[in-house]
A and B are shown apart, each in its own frame.
Chain A
Amino acid sequence: MRMEWKHRHVLDLKDWTREEILLLLDQAKNMDDLMDRPIKKVPALRGKLVVNLFFEASTRTRVSFELAEKMLSADVVNWSASGSSVGKGETLRDTAWTLEAMGADAVVIRHGSVGSAHYLAKKLHRASVFNGGDGAYSHPTQALLDAYTAWKHFKNLEGRKISIIGDILHSRVARSDIRVFRELGCEIVLSGPETLMPLDVKALGVSYEPDPRKAVSGSDIVYLLRIQRERQEEGLFPSLDEYYLRFGADLDLVMHAKQEALVMHPGPINRRVEIDSSVADGAQSRILQQVRSGVAVRMALLYLCLGGVMA
C-alpha cells in the first residue's frame, strides 16, 4: 500500500487535513510497537543526517527527537546555541546554510521567536525542517503526541470534550493542541485566569469558562498547562499559591470530569502549582505515556518526511 505524503516540513499544522493527522497517528502506532522490541532500532533512515538545533532550553523535546532519530538509524548532531557560532553573532540564515553545506537532511529547531522554523524552511534548499517549538506560536509535535495519547486510549476522538487549563495566552502547546483536537472533532473549553487568556478565544473556535470546575465538567480529557513562574512576576496573577487554590488540579477538580477522564500535561510539571501529586501520579494521569508517545510520533513524522524523496 502506498500513499502520497506532501509535507516536506512540519512547521505548524495549519494545512494538515484530518486524513493526514489520522494517517500519522496510525503510523505512530506501529512505531510505538517497535519500542517494546528487544532491538529498538530499524534501518529506515540510514545515511540521513539530522541536526537538532536548540536555541531554547529543552530536555524532553530534544531527547525525544534524538531517540526517535536514533531508533530510525539516522546520524544525529546536536547543536545548541550556547557555546556555538550563534553566540558569536551568526544569523539564523547563515547557520541554516552552514548546516546544509554539512549535508543535513533535516533540521529540528526550537527557537524563542515566532516564525523561526518557517524562516529556516524558506532558507533551506533541500533539508526538511521540524518545528520543535517557536515562541508562543506553535509546537506541532507536542500536539500530535497529545492527540496520539488520547487516540490510543479512546480510538475515536470525534465528539470528545477537552478542557485546557492554565496560561493559554503564552502557550504554543495550547495553540497547536486546539488546532489538532478541533480537526479531530473535539469540543474544547479553556479555563484559567482571565489575564492569561488570548483575546481571540472565539476566533479559535473554543469557549472560555473562568470556573475550572465548570470547565472540566463532562470532560474526557483534562489538559493542564505549565505555569511559568515569571508570569507571576509580571503580575498576571497574584501568587503561585493563589493560582493553585483557584486553578490547580487536585482530586476534587478531576472528580468533576468524567469518571474515566484522562489527565494530561506537556511537562515539566510544577507540583502544587498547576497540578497536585495525587493527580500527577494518579491512575488517570497519562503524563508518562505522553513522553513515550512523543518518541513514536516523532519517528512517524521523520519517517514520513524523510523516508522517501519528495516528488
Chain B
Amino acid sequence: MKLREKARLMSETDIERALRRMAHEIVESNKGLKEVVLVGIQRRGVFLANRIREVLRQIEQEKVPTGELDITLYRDDLTLLHDHPVVHSTSMPLDITGKRIILVDDVIYTGRTIRAALDALMDLGRPSVVQLAVLVDRGHRELPVAPNFVGKNVPTSREEVVEVRVTEIDGINEVVICEREA
C-alpha cells in the first residue's frame, strides 16, 4: 500500500501548543498530579507521554512517573493481519493499583487499540481511574471509547491515513494526512 501525502495538519509548534494545553487540562481535571501516572502506548504514544511529562514538570514542578505499554499481544485482529506486528516492551515504573492513569496515544481511530490497552492495563493492576489523551482524534469509532484530552479533532475519510511523526522515530515532529494511492 503506497501513501501519498495530502496535507500537513500540525507543525512542530502546533504539536507543542496542543501538548501544553493538554498538560494543563490534565492538571485541572485531576486537581493536581497526586497519584497521576502517564502511560504511553507503544510506539509513538511513548514519546508523546514523555513530552507531556516534561510540560507537567515545567508547570507543576513535579516529575510524573511514566510507563510504556505494548498492546500487540492483546489485539483483536492478529489473525487478520498478514504481516506480524512486532512485540515491544511493556514497563511500569511502579504498581499501578490505585493510581490515576493517563493513557497516551498518537491517534484515536476505531477505538480498538484503546480497548486492547485497557485489557493490558487491567492485567497489570487495578488503577483507580483511567483517562485517555490523544494528539489526534480522527473519528470513525467502532467501540464506545472517548478520549478525555484531545490535541486536535480532524474529520477524515476511511481511505485516509493520519500519520503522527516524532523526531525519535521519524526525524521530524509533525502530523500529516495521507491518501492511499489507487
Q: Write the residues of chain A forming the contact surface with B, with a CB cutoff of 8 angstroms.
A: 1-5, 23, 26-27, 29-31, 33-34, 37-39, 41-44, 47, 72, 300, 303-304, 307-311
| Interface residue? B124 (CB, 8 A) | yes
Q: Can you list 28 A-B pairs, Cβ within 8 angstroms, ordered by A?
A: A1-B86, A2-B84, A2-B86, A3-B83, A3-B84, A3-B86, A4-B84, A27-B86, A29-B89, A30-B88, A30-B89, A30-B90, A31-B87, A33-B91, A34-B73, A37-B124, A38-B124, A38-B125, A39-B123, A42-B73, A42-B74, A44-B73, A44-B74, A300-B87, A303-B87, A308-B82, A308-B84, A309-B82
Number of interface residues of B (CB under 8 A): 25
Q: Does B73 contact A5, Cβ atoms closer than 8 Å?
A: no
Q: Which of B80, B84, B89 contacts A304 (CB 8 A)?
A: B84
Residues of chain A contacted by B81 (CB below 8 angstroms): 308-309
Chain A residue at minimum C-beta to C-beta distance from B124? A37
Q: Does A43 contact B83, Cβ atoms closer than 8 Å?
A: no
Q: Does A4 contact B79, Cβ atoms closer than 8 Å?
A: no
Residues of chain A contacted by B85 (CB below 8 angstroms): 1-2
| Interface residue? B43 (CB, 8 A) | yes
Residues of chain A contacted by B119 (CB below 8 angstroms): 43
Q: How many A-B residue pairs have CB under 8 A?
A: 73
Q: Does A5 contact B74, Cβ atoms closer than 8 Å?
A: no
| Interface residue? B59 (CB, 8 A) | no
Chain A residue at minimum C-beta to C-beta distance from B91? A33
Nearest Cβ on chain A to B127's Cβ, whole angstroms: 14
A216 to B91, CA, bound (A): 38
Residues of chain B contacted by A43 (CB below 8 angstroms): 73-74, 119
Q: Does B86 contact A72, Cβ atoms closer than 8 Å?
A: no
Q: Does B83 contact A4, Cβ atoms closer than 8 Å?
A: yes
Q: Which of B70, B72, B80, B123 contacts A309 (CB 8 A)?
A: B80
A175 to B138, CA, bound (A): 54
A4 to B84, CA, bound (A): 6
Q: Does B43 contact A44, Cβ atoms closer than 8 Å?
A: no
| Interface residue? B172 (CB, 8 A) | no
Q: Does B86 contact A308, Cβ atoms closer than 8 Å?
A: no
Q: Does B82 contact A33, Cβ atoms closer than 8 Å?
A: no
> In the complex, which of the residues B43, B79, B88, B91 has the most CB atoms of chain A within 10 Å of its own CB atom?
B79
Q: Which 5 A-B pairs have the closest CB atoms?
A: A42-B73, A44-B73, A39-B123, A30-B87, A2-B83
Nearest Cβ on chain A to B169's Cβ, whole angstroms: 9
Assuming the contacts A1-B43, A72-B73, asked whether A308 and B83 have C-beta atoms less than 8 A apart, the reply is yes
Q: Which of B43, B75, B84, B90 contacts A5 (CB 8 A)?
A: B84
Interface string of B138-180 (1 = CB under 8 A from A): 0000000000000000000000000000000000000000000
Q: Which residues, 40 to 98 on B, are CB-close (under 8 Å) to A?
A: 43, 70, 72-75, 78-91
A55 to B123, CA, bound (A): 37
A303 to B123, CA, bound (A): 19
Residues of chain B contacted by A42 (CB below 8 angstroms): 73-74, 120, 123
A163 to B84, CA, bound (A): 36
Chain A residue at minimum C-beta to C-beta distance from B122? A39
Q: Does A309 contact B90, Cβ atoms closer than 8 Å?
A: no
Residues of chain B contacted by A309 (CB below 8 angstroms): 79-82
Nearest Cβ on chain B to A28's Cβ, whole angstroms: 10
Nearest Cβ on chain B to A103's Cβ, whole angstroms: 14
Chain A residue at minimum C-beta to C-beta distance from B97? A38
Q: Does B84 contact A307, Cβ atoms closer than 8 Å?
A: yes
Q: Does B89 contact A308, Cβ atoms closer than 8 Å?
A: no
A72 to B43, CA, bound (A): 22
Residues of chain A contacted by B80 (CB below 8 angstroms): 309
A310 to B80, CA, bound (A): 10
Q: Does A30 contact B70, Cβ atoms closer than 8 Å?
A: yes
Q: Does B124 contact A311, Cβ atoms closer than 8 Å?
A: no
A39 to B126, CA, bound (A): 12
